[in-house]
């Protein structure tokens, strides 16, 4: 498979960077029937057009690895092929009640390369969520960390437990988040709240997010599934073509930005300074250390 090759799978033309498109294509065409140790995702699809996709990499706290993301993207395309009306995105949170820890840090580059380039798996997943022709309802009943926040925010609706939290943590890893991701955050969170999340990297409650209009509902844990099912049922009864058209319009308008070339180059330069820095290498080394330690940042 060559770079930028048009891949057809599940009836959909997709264009990804060579590494991810090869992996997705290999998963789609796989004929090996040997049982896997554990499925990374679980899917269900009902006659009413309602699909459910459950993240199931619990032993790794649902860290969004290359292979994990490829399977999620493939499942979303399979829902498209089945003409899903709406899909529920949920997670097996495990005993630690973690919806997802975000990026699989072990797969981040060790330095001198953009850790969140256009072909990064998480960036591809967020674009896919925005592109599918059906609404996705995020059901959140645990803590959401780092890039997983962007995945949740990319969904059409968010229903969370009132105990759920969201922490945007790239500053803890000296990772300069990419501009497309920050635009996604800006379209959901107010600028001051977003700056607080970036600078402190501390969890914010779903209740606070509901008051800010970021989360649709923050409910007692026992009521979350009922509300998600109710929303999905209501969506499935309405015109899928009209919903697809209006959601596409909203996504295009929300993502529309015009920047002078000088500003674009300045932002790229600032990001390059961060991911080429000693601080970035220190963060990766500290995270992967046995035992894990706190990084010491020197601003270099």
Indicate which residues carry an active-site annotation: 103, 147, 177
How far CA 134 is from CA of 148, 150, 152, 245, in Å, comes to: 20, 18, 15, 10
3-state secondary structure 88-143: EEEECCCCCCEEECCECHHHCCCCCCCCCCCCCHHHHHHHHHHHCCCCEEEEECCE
d(CA 51, CA 87): 4
Tell me if 181 sits within 8 A of 126, measured CB to CB. Answer: yes
SS3 213: coil
Most distant CA pair in the chain: distance in Å? 57
DSSP H helices, the chain, are: 18-28, 66-81, 121-131, 147-154, 179-186, 191-200, 206-211, 221-236, 240-254, 261-275, 278-288
d(CA 177, CA 170): 7
């Amino acid at each position: 498979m060559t770079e930028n090759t048009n891949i057809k799978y599940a009836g959909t033309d997709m264009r990804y960077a060579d590494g991810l498109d090869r992996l997705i294509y290999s998963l789609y065409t796989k004929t090996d029937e040997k049982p896997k140790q554990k499925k990374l995702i679980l899917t269900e699809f009902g006659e009413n057009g309602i699909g459910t996709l459950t993240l199931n990499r619990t032993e790794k706290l649902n860290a969004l690895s290359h292979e994990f993301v490829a399977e999620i993207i493939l499942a979303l395309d399979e829902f498209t092929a089945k003409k899903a009306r709406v899909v529920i995105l949920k997670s097996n949170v495990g005993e630690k009640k973690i919806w997802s820890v975000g990026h699989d840090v072990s797969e981040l580059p060790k330095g001198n390369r953009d850790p969140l380039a256009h072909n990064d798996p998480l960036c591809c997943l967020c674009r896919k969520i925005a592109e599918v022709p059906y609404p996705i309802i995020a059901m959140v009943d645990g803590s959401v960390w780092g890039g997983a926040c962007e995945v949740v925010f990319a969904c059409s609706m968010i229903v969370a437990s009132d105990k759920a939290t969201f922490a945007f943590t790239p500053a803890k890893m000296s990772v300069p988040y990419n501009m497309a991701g920050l635009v996604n955050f800006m379209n959901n969170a107010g600028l001051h709240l977003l700056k607080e999340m970036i600078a402190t990297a501390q969890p914010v409650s779903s209740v606070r997010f509901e008051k800010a209009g970021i989360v649709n509902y923050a409910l007692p844990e026992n009521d979350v599934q009922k509300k998600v099912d109710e929303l999905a049922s209501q969506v499935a009864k309405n015109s899928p073509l009209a919903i697809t058209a209006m959601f596409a319009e909203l996504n295009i308008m929300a993502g529309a930005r015009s920047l002078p070339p000088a500003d674009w180059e300045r932002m790229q330069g600032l990001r390059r300074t961060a991911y080429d820095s000693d601080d970035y290498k220190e963060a990766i080394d500290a995270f992967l250390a046995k035992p894990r330690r706190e990084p010491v940042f020197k601003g270099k």
